[in-house]
Amino acid sequence: MLHLLENAAEYASTRISMWLASRVDPSRREWIDAMRAELDVIEGGWRKLTWVIGGVSLARRWHSAPSRSHDPASAALAALALCGRVAVTFIFAQAVFIGIELAVRILYGNVIHSSGKHFLLMTAVSAVVVLVDRARSGRSQIAASGRDRTPTGDTHEETS
């Protein structure tokens, strides 16, 4: 069983490394190839997978021009991230609503009915909030990239 998992991890690492190579900007391709070449000497599927997963953050930094329509993996990731943000906003909104309801109950008695009835409304409000926030951040990112374009996106070292 463990052997099978090791093989699966090794296979996944190979596939991910190929995906990384296809995703990065050609000017950074050499570095991704360097990272991929090390896979050949790393022993064990899990270690290989860990090594390659580190490269995913590099692919994010060094990705080539966005091609959402041609890249199903990144489109799926973006959709997943959006769902996650909606869920987090929903939980936050629900918590606020419950807090308000409790406060009102304590102060004035049972005025507001169960928050479960507002589930759909809350989800819709959360989705709208996230989409508006996303649109705003997208607009500000476009404005920022127009002002200051850095090829690597490396902001690790700052000048003092």
Partner 1 sequence: MARQTNISSQTLCVLALLLESRRSWHYGYAISQHTGLKSGTLYPILVRLAEQGWLDTQWSVPEQPGRPPRHTYRLTKEGALAARARLADASAVRLTVPPRRAPVGG
Q: Which residues contact partner 1 by CB under 8 A?
A: 28, 30-31, 33-35, 37-38, 40-42, 50-58, 61, 152, 154, 156-160
Of 30 and 133, which has the nearer Cβ to partner 1?
Answer: 30
* Dihedral (Cα; 58, 59, 65, 68), 10-degree rounding: -140
Of 44 and 99, which has the nearer Cβ to partner 1?
Answer: 44
Contact partners, residue 51, CB within 8 Å, separation at least 6: 13, 35, 38, 39, 42
Of 32 and 130, which has the nearer Cβ to partner 1?
Answer: 32
Structure tokens at 2: 């463990």
Minimum gap (Å) between residue 103 Cβ and partner 1: 42
Minimum gap (Å) between residue 48 Cβ and partner 1: 10
Minimum gap (Å) between residue 149 Cβ and partner 1: 16
CA distance 117 to 114: 6
Minimum gap (Å) between residue 108 Cβ and partner 1: 50
The one-letter code for the residue type at 79 is A
Contact partners, residue 150, CB within 8 Å, separation at least 6: none
Minimum gap (Å) between residue 24 Cβ and partner 1: 11
CA distance 145 to 151: 10
Of 68 and 148, which has the nearer Cβ to partner 1?
Answer: 148
Of 28 and 85, which has the nearer Cβ to partner 1?
Answer: 28
| Closest alpha carbon to 17 in 35, 42, 44, 40 | 35
